[in-house]
Amino acid sequence: MHEHIPLLLIEVGALLFGLGILGRLARRVGISPITLYLLAGLAFGKGGLLPLDASEKFIEVGAEMGVILLLVMLGLEYSADELVGNLRRALPAGILDALLNAVPGALFALLLGWGPVAMVALAGVTWVSSSGVIAKMLGDLNRVGNRETPVILSILVIEDLAMAFYLPLLSALLLGAGVVAGAVSLGVAVATVVVVLVVAVRYGNAISRMMNPDDPEVLLLGVLGLSLLVAGAAAKLHVSAAVGAFLVGIALSGKVAHSATEILAPLRDLFAVVFFVFFGLSTNPDDIPPVLLPAIGLAVVTMATKVVTGIRAARRAGIGRPGQWRTGLALMPRGEFSIVIAGLAAGVHPQLAPLATAYVLVTVVTAPLLARLPDARWFRRLIAPAPAPAVGAGGPTG
């Protein structure tokens, strides 16, 4: 046994055991465990109380698997026809989403005088919601089967697909690449998304027939392997790994999808927790205080614009007022894409990455708490439509 393996086992074992206690505590007091998982990551990351050096790489890989499993499990809930129909209906909401949530980030960078490339980068940071955090929230709140959930997923998929175009464009700007190089990179990303989407929609039944739903071991290996393979290939081609994993889930149907959901659920729960811990581990607490107030201000504005986005999208889909608010509040957290964008653009300005990290932490810590508001009786009374006046009561007479 390699000499660092025992230390890795001790660190991972102690971390998971502690997270189990934190999760139980969170459920007992009625808050989302995501908040405590993030704070645990901050406590044991670089600059924290006790850095977990031996297990850092292991947790990083586990975190990536967590995002992939969260998205493939969401994809298993919906068919390819539902996806295409929802995307068509949600396109206007996706455009509104981009306008309402990217513009504040761009204006913020402009006001700070950070330059045009930083404007493009910060616009992306404030635009895209966190698919991983939202998937976990929907599961924790038992809302996966709600009427508004397809609307939420449609907006997330549109955002993730948009990232397939945005990230190559941002990379070209950061590298100072010419028009031809940027166009080639963008073309590869677009072609990849189209191919994966067409395969998922048109050949999903054939892919499902390759799996054996009656053999749990074989099904687990097949679905997990295919999800990682497609997600990795998508990421290699500068497309979101989350998009690839989600489309794998969409492609599987029938008994295969049902059995895969049951088999993958424990793995998803484990690695989803690792994802949130890694998010905290990768953040140095010393970087947060200098940019905390600007990050809070930016978060307040863009969390409000996400709520507006969700309410408008759900209203357009014919969903009632409580569902509209559940949609808007669910879309508030930013996460993996915002951190990726900030990491890519870290050299543009020294405060961009710390600001983005603090901003994401504010949204991720507060969003799971705010997402519970529609379940509160006082909030339901507050948003309930006013009763229509009785005919002839109090109105003008002839």
Using CA atoms, how far apart are residues 12 and 32, in angstroms rounded to an integer? 22
383 pLDDT tier (thresholds 50, 70, 90): confident
Lowest mean pLDDT among 26-30, 69-73, 253-257, 308-312: 26-30
Q: What average pLDDT score do residues 331-346 get?
A: 80
Mean pLDDT of 142-157: 87
| Class for the domain spanning 5-377 | mainly alpha
pLDDT tens-digit series, residues 83-128: 677 677 778 888 999 999 999 999 999 998 888 889 999 999 999 9
Top-confidence range, 97-101, 145-149, 153-157: 97-101
Both tokens assigned to 76: 């298993």
Tell which wins on pLDDT, 208 or 168.
208
Show me where the domains of the chain are located: 5-377
Of 141-145, 243-247, 373-377, the one with minimum mean pLDDT is 243-247
pLDDT at 296: 95
pLDDT at residue 360 tops 70: yes
Distance CA 54, CA 56 (A): 6
Residue 150 token pair: 């397809």
**pLDDT for residue 47 is more than 90:** no
- What pLDDT score was predicted for residue 298? 95
C-alpha distances in Å from residue 368, one per residue of 139, 156, 244, 364, 394: 11, 17, 26, 7, 43
Transcribe 67-127 into DSSP letters: HHHHHHHHHHTS-HHHHHHHHHHHHHHHHHHHHHHHHHHHHHHHHHT--HHHHHHHHHHHH
**What pLDDT does residue 177 have?**
53
Check pLDDT > 80 for residue 185. no
Is residue 189 scored above 70 in pLDDT? no
Least confident of 165-174, 358-367, 386-395: 386-395
Task: State residue 337's pLDDT score.
Answer: 75
Average pLDDT, the chain: 81
